[in-house]
Amino acid sequence: MELFLLNAKTLTERLRSAFAVDNRWQLYFRGLGNTLLMSLFAVAIGVVLGSILAMIVFTAKKTGKGKIPAFVCNLYVTVIRGTPVVLQLFIMYFIVLVTVKSGIVVGAVTFGLNSAAYVAEVARAGLESVDEGQMEAGRSLGLSYTKTMIKIILPQAFRNIIPALFNEFIALVKETSVAGYVGILDLGKVPGLIQSRTFDYLFPLLFASLLYLAVVYLLTLVEKYIEKILSKSDRNAGYKKITGGRKKWRKKQTDL
């Protein structure tokens, strides 16, 4: 019994030392804030740039125009996906953006450029998943290629790639944990800082893991909510279409 109480007291002291002493809990939330900030700007860069890359490659494949830009885009995707993100971070931090004083900015740009390569492949696959007849139908109605893409192809492709985009965002949040290698105070670096003062890794790592888990869980809930809304709108649209058809048919039968 005494041994149990002693161990409980020791764990309580370790818990307090890792979280409460010197307001160390602020470090966790400061690191979490930096992680979310980097991830938010990185995903914005990744989605915008990745969508542009996918559009260029997709257009070149369908129309045969812009093969040189498409080659450059494919080369970019190959290079980024073929090299570790931590090496890309070193190159950006110590060479390309060495004059930038904010590590958060460097991290956001680096992870955004990295994410763009993966988003490009996801978006390209989503565009190619739309039936080719949709493009032909839009052009037959007199729409230009650009209007057909915006009004017909892109909305359908967007619904197909939502799960993959959220998976990329989740992976990006966890991927930013390597930012600590260049001295950026993100959530992944906080356990090391606290361990250097407490000489105890258990609770710092546990707290950081729980915060990462909470963020990923919330993103998963948002993804499921959006998918539910989109699937519900699809069902309602189909139901209205079918119901309208039946009413029209019944009215026709009555008139006869």
Q: What is the pLDDT of residue 80?
A: 96
Decide if pLDDT at 248 tops 60: no
Cα atoms in the 13 Å half-sphere on the side-chain side of 78: 6
User: Is the CA virtual torsion 241, 243, 248, 252 positive or negative?
Assistant: positive
Q: Which residue has the tokens 């006869």?
A: 256
Q: At what angle do helices 103-129 and 25-63 cross, to 10 degrees?
A: 40
Q: Which residues, 6 or more positions from 195, have their beta carbon under 8 angstroms from its beta carbon?
A: 201, 204
Q: Which CATH class is domain 29-255?
A: mainly alpha
Please give the pLDDT value at position 242.
37
| 12 or 170, which is more confident | 170
Q: What percent of the chain is modeled with pLDDT above 90?
A: 48
**Predicted local distance difference test score (pLDDT) of residue 238:** 46
Mean of the per-residue pLDDT values for the chain? 84
CA dist 226 and 54 (Å) reads 23
Residue 3, pLDDT above cutoff 70: no
Segment 98-108 mean pLDDT: 92
The pLDDT tens digits of the residues spanning 180-195 come to 999 899 999 999 999 8
Give the three-class secondary structure for 235: helix
User: What region does 102 belong to: left with phi over 0, alpha with psi -120 to 50, or beta?
Assistant: beta
Please return the burial class of 62, using the count of CB atoms within 10 Å of its CB with bins 0-12, 13-18 and 19+: middle
Q: Which of the residue ranges 12-26, 108-122, 170-184, 209-223 would you say has the lowest mean pLDDT?
A: 12-26
Q: What is the pTM of this model?
A: 0.82
Q: What b/e string do you get for 190-204 counting C-beta neighbours within 10 Å, with b at 16 or more?
A: bbeebbeebebeebb
The angle, 0 to 180 degrees and rounded to 10, between the axes of the packed helices 103-129 and 67-82 is 120
Average pLDDT of span 228-256: 52
Residue-wise pLDDT tens digits, 111-168: 999 999 999 999 998 888 888 888 888 888 888 888 888 888 888 888 888 888 888 8
Q: Which pLDDT band, with edges at 50, 70 and 90, does 252 fall under? A: very low
Please state, in angstroms and rounded to a whole number, the distance separating the CA atoms of residues 57 and 144.
18
Find out whether 80 and 72 touch, Cβ atoms under 8 Å. Answer: no
pLDDT band for position 8 (50/70/90)? Answer: low
**Sign of the CA dihedral running 119, 121, 122, 126:** positive
Per-residue pLDDT at 237 exceeds 60 = no
**Rounded distance between C-alpha atoms, residue 216 and residue 166, angstroms:** 10
Give domain limits for the chain: 29-255
Closest CA to 173 of 97, 227, 108, 116: 108
